[in-house]
């Protein structure tokens, strides 16, 4: 006799009279004295059971002992509820069952935490009892939603003849810039595997092997500090293709998003817009601009250069810039201005100050700095910003990086504060034409902006020796509502160029050989032109589920200290295990 013939959430009026057996959990018990209602829950939903002592005293007796989260099995006949007692809020609210039999499969002790979404619970506590927490409607919904999106991606790629291929988890450190998680080798004492930060080199090798279209739902590991949108292990939809150019990758990726949105019942407009990296930085102060609202950064550098306001003109003469935001500030209090100023001058924003000009009625101006400007300059500023009555322009003057960072953040802050962001919008943008390198502002050394296997734009090849900072990369990021969802590039497939890039990164020839010898050799053996992209699945699901933390879309996530409250990993290990691995623990002295 099987446990169940049907599932709770799927039953409706059309099943009236149907004999069913069901199994699941007691979601809630409502004991009215003479009659007991129970909502039985399984993975499809909930169904009301009724016990009446006059109809079935045995069942009623068992129902009296049932408590929340008991695991039970029942048999009975689906009946339409008496007129007037239907519950329109419940999917199965038109029907109910008077069980003919009930069996307790397993009892449950009193729950350590509430499982109702309307009751807040400390997240640490939820994670400690994650197996219970996942019974919540909201968590069930999120995890199932995640599956649906993953499947939409798989379906699309498989239909396009992509091959799902697994790559090693025990591998060698690939240089993505993050710290590696290390695994000691027992067979070769003193040596370590690294967990992959991404399958980058393997997928390139698969292209060289001739598979031409690869994807993987790949777990990646990076030993860095966590954020609400960053976990130490996360999942990437990793994709690589041969004999393609940027357009192929972009249209393929757009196809994936089109399919995801179709599956979740939304529309998305293709193709996505594209924006140069420089444009994104200049207009939005970020490489991942939120295009759900306008408010662009306005450049006043040229006006300030010759103005009588020395604080600004001095900065411009030292290669700094002056930019601003034009903001509707009607009815703002003095405190709101000060709060903004305080915000911008925090360490995070890094600006030295915030100046403003406010345009009041009758062409009046309120501003701590207006007196330094001529009539002509003031009018130029107003025209440039297209400022209207009730607007203020907020200025930041400094080095380019600081101005962009401060105003980029301020823009997002104001977007929230002034409610300018339409949360129902889906704004995708490709950020293209990235620089291949950036100069480390402390050491002056070159760093790659993407990763070292990104191909330079062939048009800029001649600049590699002379002005490497000006070399553009064949790289692209996909940005959704101001969040980077993924990125990729066309790879370098010529050995000489790859070697050159590695040398420019100040890596010794010997180290190049040690770490990338196998790649360089592979490139020299008929490597096809290839490229790909990696999409952050966790982040994508988080965004589409309108959640603000990855922990809400990962079944068993880690907390900020990279530990798992449920299993209490990481933990100490037996001394025998350490000995076998020839490891000794030497903790730093607490000082």
> Toward RNA, which CB reaches closer, 112 or 168?
112
The nearest distance, CB 517 to RNA, in angstroms, is: 20
Q: Name the pairing type of β-strands 355-359 and 321-328.
A: unpaired
* C-beta neighbour count of 357 within 10 angstroms: 23
The nearest distance, CB 492 to RNA, in angstroms, is: 14
> Toward RNA, which CB reaches closer, 9 or 114?
114
> Toward RNA, which CB reaches closer, 50 or 72?
50
Number of Cα atoms under 13 Å in the Cβ half of residue 13 = 9
> Toward RNA, which CB reaches closer, 298 or 351?
351
> Toward RNA, which CB reaches closer, 217 or 226?
226
**Residues linked to residue 24 through DSSP beta bridges, in sequence order:** 72
The nearest distance, CB 433 to RNA, in angstroms, is: 15
Q: How far apart are CA 293 and CA 279, in angstroms?
A: 16
Q: How far apart are CA 90 and CA 27, in angstroms?
A: 13
The nearest distance, CB 342 to RNA, in angstroms, is: 12
The nearest distance, CB 30 to RNA, in angstroms, is: 4
The nearest distance, CB 216 to RNA, in angstroms, is: 15
> Toward RNA, which CB reaches closer, 251 or 560?
560
Q: Which of 42, 4, 39, 34 is nearest to 20 (CA)?
A: 4
Q: What DSSP string runs through 122-141?
A: -HHHHHHTHHHHTTSHHHHH
List CB contacts of 301: < 8 A, sequence separation 6 or more: 316, 321, 322, 323
Q: Which residue has the tokens 């949105």?
A: 261
What is the DSSP code (8-state) at residue 211?
-
> Toward RNA, which CB reaches closer, 287 or 377?
287
The nearest distance, CB 83 to RNA, in angstroms, is: 10
Question: Do 167 and 196 meet the contact criterion of CB atoms below 8 Å apart?
Answer: yes
The nearest distance, CB 358 to RNA, in angstroms, is: 28
> Toward RNA, which CB reaches closer, 213 or 286?
286
List of E strands, 244-319: 273-276, 298-299
* C-beta neighbour count of 37 within 10 angstroms: 15
The C-alpha torsion from 404 through 408 and 411 to 417, rounded to 10°, is: -130
* Cβ-count burial 500-533 (b if 16+ within 10 Å, e if not): bbbebbebeeeebeebbeebbebbeeebebbbbb
Using CB atoms within 10 Å of the CB of residue 585, give its burial: 0 to 12 exposed, 13 to 18 middle, 19+ buried: exposed
> Toward RNA, which CB reaches closer, 84 or 190?
84
The nearest distance, CB 43 to RNA, in angstroms, is: 19
């Amino acid at each position: 006799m099987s446990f169940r013939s049907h599932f709770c959430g799927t039953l409706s009026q059309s099943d009236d009279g149907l004999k069913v057996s069901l199994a699941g959990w007691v979601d809630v018990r409502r004991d009215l004295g003479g009659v007991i209602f129970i909502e039985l829950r399984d993975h499809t939903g909930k169904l009301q059971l009724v016990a009446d002592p006059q109809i079935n005293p045995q069942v009623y007796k068992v129902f009296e002992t049932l408590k929340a989260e008991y695991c039970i099995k029942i048999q009975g006949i689906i009946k339409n509820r008496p007129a007037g007692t239907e519950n329109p809020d419940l999917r199965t609210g038109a029907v109910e069952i008077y069980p003919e039999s009930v069996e307790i499969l397993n009892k449950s002790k009193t729950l350590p935490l509430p499982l109702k979404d309307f009751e807040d619970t400390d997240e640490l506590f939820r994670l400690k009892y994650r197996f219970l927490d996942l019974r919540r409607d909201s968590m069930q919904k999120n995890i199932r939603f995640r599956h649906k999106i993953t499947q939409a991606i798989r379906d699309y790629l498989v239909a396009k003849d992509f091959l799902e291929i697994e790559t090693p988890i025990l591998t060698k450190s690939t240089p993505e810039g993050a710290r590696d998680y290390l695994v000691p080798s027992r067979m070769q004492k003193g040596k370590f595997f690294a967990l992959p930060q991404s399958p980058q080199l393997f997928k390139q090798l698969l292209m060289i092997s001739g598979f031409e279209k690869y994807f993987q739902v790949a777990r990646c590991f990076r030993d860095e500090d966590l954020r609400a949108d960053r976990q130490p292990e996360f999942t990437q939809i990793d994709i690589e293709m041969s004999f393609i150019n940027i357009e192929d990758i972009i249209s393929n990726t757009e196809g994936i998003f089109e399919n995801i949105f179709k599956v979740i019942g939304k529309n998305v407009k293709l193709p996505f817009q594209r924006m140069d990296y420089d444009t994104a930085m200049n207009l939005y102060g970020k490489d991942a601009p939120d295009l759900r609202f306008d408010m662009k950064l306005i450049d006043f550098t040229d006006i300030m250069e010759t103005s009588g306001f020395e604080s600004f003109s001095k900065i411009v003469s030292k290669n700094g810039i002056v930019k601003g935001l034009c903001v509707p500030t009607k009815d703002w209090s003095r405190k709101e201005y000060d709060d903004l100023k305080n915000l911008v001058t925090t360490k995070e924003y890094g600006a030295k100050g915030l100046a403003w000009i406010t345009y009041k009625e009758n062409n009046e101006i309120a501003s701590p700095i207006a007196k330094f400007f001529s009539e002509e300059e003031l009018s130029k500023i107003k025209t440039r910003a297209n400022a209207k009555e009730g607007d203020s322009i907020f200025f930041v003057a400094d080095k380019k990086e600081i101005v962009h960072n401060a105003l980029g953040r301020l823009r997002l802050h104001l977007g929230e504060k002034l409610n300018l962001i339409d949360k129902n919008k889906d704004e995708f943008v490709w950020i293209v034409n990235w620089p291949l390198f950036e100069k480390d502002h402390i050491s002056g050394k070159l760093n790659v902006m993407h990763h070292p296997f990104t191909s330079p734009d062939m048009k800029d090849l001649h600049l590699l020796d002379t002005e490497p900072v000006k070399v553009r990369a064949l790289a692209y990021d996909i940005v959704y509502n101001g969040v980077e969802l993924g990125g990729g590039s066309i790879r370098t497939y010529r050995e000489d160029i790859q070697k050159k890039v590695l040398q420019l990164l100040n890596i010794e020839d010997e180290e190049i050989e040690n770490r990338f010898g196998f790649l360089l050799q592979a490139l020299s053996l008929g490597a096809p032109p290839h490229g790909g992209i990696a999409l952050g699945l966790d982040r994508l699901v988080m965004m589409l589920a309108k959640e603000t933390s990855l922990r809400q879309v990962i079944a068993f996530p880690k907390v900020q200290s990279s530990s798992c409250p449920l299993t209490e990993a990481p933990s100490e290990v037996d001394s025998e295990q350490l000995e076998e691995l020839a490891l000794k623990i030497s903790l730093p002295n607490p000082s």
